[in-house]
Amino acid sequence: MIELKNITKEYVPNQKALDNVSLQIKEGELVVLKGASGSGKSTMLSLIAALGKPTTGEVVVDNKVISKLPDNFAALYRRENIGFIFQKFHLIENLSVYENIATPLIPSNLPPKEFSFLVQNAMDRFEIAHKKNVIVKQLSGGEQQRVAIARANVNNPKIILADEPTANLDAKLSANFIEILRELKKEKKTIVIATHDPLFFGLDFVDREVEVKNGVIV
Amino acid sequence: MKKINFYLLEYALDSLTRQKRRNIFLFSVLSFIIFLLSSVFFVRNSLLYQFDDAIGVMPDIVVQQLEGGRVVSVEEDLADELLAIAGVQDVVGRVWGYYHFFQANTDFAIVGVDEFEQNSNPNFVKDASKLQDDTMFIGNGVKKVLQKFYYEKEFHFLLPDATNMRLKIAGQLSKDSALWSDDVMLLTKESAKKVLAIDDNKVVDFALFVANKKEIPTIVAKIRTLFPTAKITTKENLFVEYDKLLSYRGGFFLLLFVVTLFTFFMIVYDKVSGVTSQEKSEVGILKAIGWRVNDILQYKFYEAFILSFFAYALGVIGAMFYVYSFDASIIFDIFVGSSQIKPQIALPFVFDAQTFFLIFFMSVPIYIAATIIPTWRVATLDVDELLR
């Protein structure tokens, strides 16, 4: 379970990106955080992923206060628990599809068979195996997103976080992403999506929609 | 024991190829500097080795007469007085000087030897019996100069009284001693005295050989009492002077290299400390997907080590070929350039582990540190900050 307890986040002193926000997300739940750009949705995702630390308050995941983890432990927490799909995908643009998807596995130093199996599995599952050796900057936006999703899932994480996942996609590709989400939801993964795309509103498999405005939950 | 993470190593290798241009530039500059530095060290080591080798056949003490600060010829009979000093094993009156070959505007070193001296150093002249009053042996450098002016079989000396003296070229001096003999014309003492206008009963200086080397200071003191105005040079003095000369030239070069190295590392440091936005973003992405700071530093270590170690290997191997196969032209001229005839010698290979370690520690760890420190500074920032 994910719990945000009285979170305040200031990137610049006295300018609150989040203001005393509290939120609980149950295991296996799919939550959509909706709101305009700059409302604080992405900040909530980054705090859940321990990419940054709150100014005040605590983020608790599975009864562990992850907001106070030292840098190296926070990285381990992400490696073992989090799959993050970024708005701009944040792929390493000169690496191939295979290499990008494999990157999260590198520090684990897995046996070669297991390593290749996990990468191949992620590529097959998100239908990008046919572009295995293509450098990602040569891919279309939709293909890049598939690589980003495959990379986020290659470790089989419990929590999937997606920040504006359809911001760079056309309607057809956005619809494809919705289908992928549906699949992930069936696997009982905890999913949190930050978006202002109406496509995500009112979906039958979404458990909850949470509106964020000016750094507070409305 | 911790297992080596070959995936990280592979990632580092990939990373090097991803930034091809930048890395090729850094690799080339680093290799070139290591090559220059190694070449200077190798040349210096070889010359010192040759000098050590040659000093074995040198006299223990050389006595010269000075007048107005210039070396002047001395009566040959004084040899008997020197030989009478207790501890002196042998005394040889030497005849040597320089002949200016005006057509090439260069000087040849004239050395006169007698039969005994020819036999005392058989490596110097292959067939010493051929050295007669109408013949001479010449060094390789002299031969090249003479050939340019069609003196293939004989040479005509222009004597101080404006007459000519013709000597046949009987052979060439051994190439093994080229550092010392390249600009030498080896004549009999009689012929040399004619060329150098030295009176029959005089010599240029005396070479003294001492059986017990510990007695040298005592003998020097005795010579000074007998000949207060003489200039006395011991083998040890000669070695110190030579070492100073090499150190001065080597030191001069090293100073230049230190400046070059410093400049290079300033460029490297500046380049890496101002980590590019692409690199910064990569560090952010890696952290975001679960890489620890240690993993990132390890990857950067591999990357820097591979680049700098191969640059080191290429630089050192290149320098070995340059020095030992191509005789280090240019650098060698700077070291032994005092003569107008540049000796053409094969520098002997000297393996000095200290030199290899010194060059290694002056390059590889410094480059690694210049890569790792700025990366560490970036990697300890919040991911949020890196990806924003």
> Do the chains contact at A46 and B383, CB–CB below 8 Å?
yes
User: How far apart are alpha carbons B344 and B141 in whole angstroms?
Assistant: 7
The shortest CB-CB distance from A107 to any of B282, B284, B292 is to B292
Q: Which residue of A has its CA nearest to B382?
A: A52
Predicted pLDDT of residue B162: 87
Average pLDDT over residues B137-159: 89
- Kindly give the residue spans of alpha helices, DSSP state H, lying in chain A: 41-48, 71-81, 97-102, 112-125, 141-153, 171-186
Chain A residues whose C-beta is within 8 A of a chain B C-beta are: 11, 46, 49, 51-53, 71-72, 75-76, 78-80, 82, 84, 86, 90-92, 94-95, 99, 102-107, 109, 115, 151, 155
For residue B345, pLDDT over 60 is answered with no
Is the predicted pLDDT of residue A106 greater than 90, yes or no? yes
Q: Which of A11, A71, A109 sits opposite B7 (nearest CB)?
A: A109
| Of residues B153 and B252, more confidently modeled | B153
- Residue B347: its pLDDT value, please? 73
Give the pLDDT score at B63. 92
ipTM of the complex: 0.92
Among the partner-chain residues A72, A95, A106, the one whose CB lies closest to the CB of B294 is A72
Contact at CB, A92 and B282, closer than 8 angstroms:
yes
pLDDT confidence of residue B290: 93
**Structure confidence at residue B172 (pLDDT):** 83
User: Residue B306 has which token pair?
Assistant: 């591979």
Domain presence at residue B271: yes
- Compute the half-sphere exposure of residue B353: CA atoms within 13 Å on the CB side of its CA: 0
Contact B289 A109 (CB under 8 A): no
Whether B307 is covered by a domain: the verdict is yes
Predicted pLDDT at B122: 47
A106-122: average pLDDT: 95
What whole-number distance in Å separates Cα of residue A155 and Cα of residue A150?
A: 9
Give the H/E segment covering residue B171.
strand B164-172
Report chain B residues whose CB lies below 8 A from the CB of A18: none
What residue numbers bound the domain in which B31 lies?
Answer: 6-53+246-387
Determine whether the interchain pair B291/A107 forms a contact, defined as Cβ–Cβ distance below 8 Å: yes
- Tally C-beta pairs within 8 A across A and B: 81
Identify whether B182 is part of a domain.
no
Q: What percent of chain A has pLDDT over 70?
A: 100
- Average pLDDT score over residue span B61-81: 89
Instruction: Determine, yes or no, domain membership for B87.
Output: no
List chain B residues with CB under 8 Å of A94: 18
Least confident piece of the model among A36-50, B216-230, B271-285: B271-285
- How big is chain A, counted in residues? 218
Helix (H, G, I), strand (E, B) or coil at A215: coil
Query: pTM to 2 decimals?
Result: 0.74
The residue written with tokens 């990285």 in the block is A75
Do A102 and B7 lie within an 8 Å CB cutoff? Answer: yes
Contact B290/A90, CB-based, under 8 Å? no
pLDDT in tens, B210-233: 988 899 999 999 999 988 888 998
Confidence check: pLDDT of A112 > 60: yes
Task: Show the tokens assigned to B67.
Answer: 């007048």
Does the pLDDT of residue B77 top 50, yes or no?
yes
Question: What DSSP designation does A96 have?
Answer: B
pLDDT tens for each residue of B108-143 = 889 888 765 654 454 555 666 778 888 998 888 888
User: Model confidence at B203, in pLDDT bands (50, 70, 90)?
Assistant: very high
What digits encode the pLDDT tens for the residues B161-172?
A: 889 999 999 888
Contacts of B14 in chain A (CB under 8 A): 95, 99
> Does a structural domain hold residue B33?
yes
Q: Which of A110-119, B15-24, B144-153, B325-334 has the lowest mean pLDDT?
A: B325-334
Answer with the residue of higher pLDDT: B373 or B7: B7
Lowest mean pLDDT among A82-91, B17-26, B173-182, B292-301: B173-182
Contact A104 B5 (CB under 8 A): no
Pick among A94, A98, A119 to test the B interface (most B CBs inside 10 A): A94
Mean pLDDT is lowest, of A64-73, A167-176, B88-97, B336-345, for B336-345
Helices in B56-109 by DSSP H: which ranges?
78-83
> Is B227 strand, coil or helix?
coil
Using alpha carbons, list the distances in angstroms from residue B106 to B77, B146, B162, B310. Answer: 34, 11, 19, 44
Residues in chain B: 388
If one counts the domains in chain B, the total is: 1
Which pLDDT does position A68 carry in this prediction?
Answer: 92
Q: Which of A99, A102, A109 shows the shortest C-beta gap to B5?
A: A109
Burial class from Cβ neighbours inside 10 Å (0-12, 13-18, 19+) for residue B226 reads middle
pLDDT at B316: 95
Average pLDDT over residues B178-186: 76
Question: CB-based burial of residue B142 (10 Å sphere; 0-12 exposed, 13-18 middle, 19+ buried)?
Answer: buried
Q: Which two tokens stand for residue B68?
A: 């107005």
Residue B2 Ramachandran class (φ > 0 left, ψ -120 to 50 alpha, else beta): beta
For B126, half-sphere exposure in the C-beta direction (CA atoms, 13 angstrom radius) is: 9
Looking at residue B140, its pLDDT comes to: 82
The verdict on a CB contact (< 8 Å) between A106 and B291 is: yes
Residues of chain B found within 8 Å of residue A78, distances taken between Cβ atoms: 288-290
Q: In the CATH scheme, what is the code of domain A2-217?
A: 3.40.50.300
* B373 pLDDT tier (thresholds 50, 70, 90): confident
Cα Rg of chain A, angstroms: 17
Mean per-residue pLDDT over chain B, rounded: 83
Question: pLDDT-based confidence at B247, cuts 50/70/90?
Answer: low
Tell me the domain boundaries of chain A.
2-217
Q: Is residue B120 part of a domain?
A: no
The predicted model gives B378-388 an average pLDDT of 85
Question: Is A83 in contact with A162 (CB distance < 8 Å)?
Answer: no
Q: Which of A155-159, B65-69, B125-129, B331-335 has the lowest average pLDDT?
A: B125-129
A79 contact residues in B (CB cutoff 8 A): 289-291
Q: Share the mean pLDDT of chain A.
A: 93
Tens digit of each residue's pLDDT (9 = 90 or more) over A46-99? 999 999 999 999 999 999 999 999 999 999 999 999 999 998 899 998 899 999
Q: Is B170 within the bounds of a domain?
A: no
Q: Please, what is the angle between helix A171-186 and helix A141-153, to 10°? A: 10
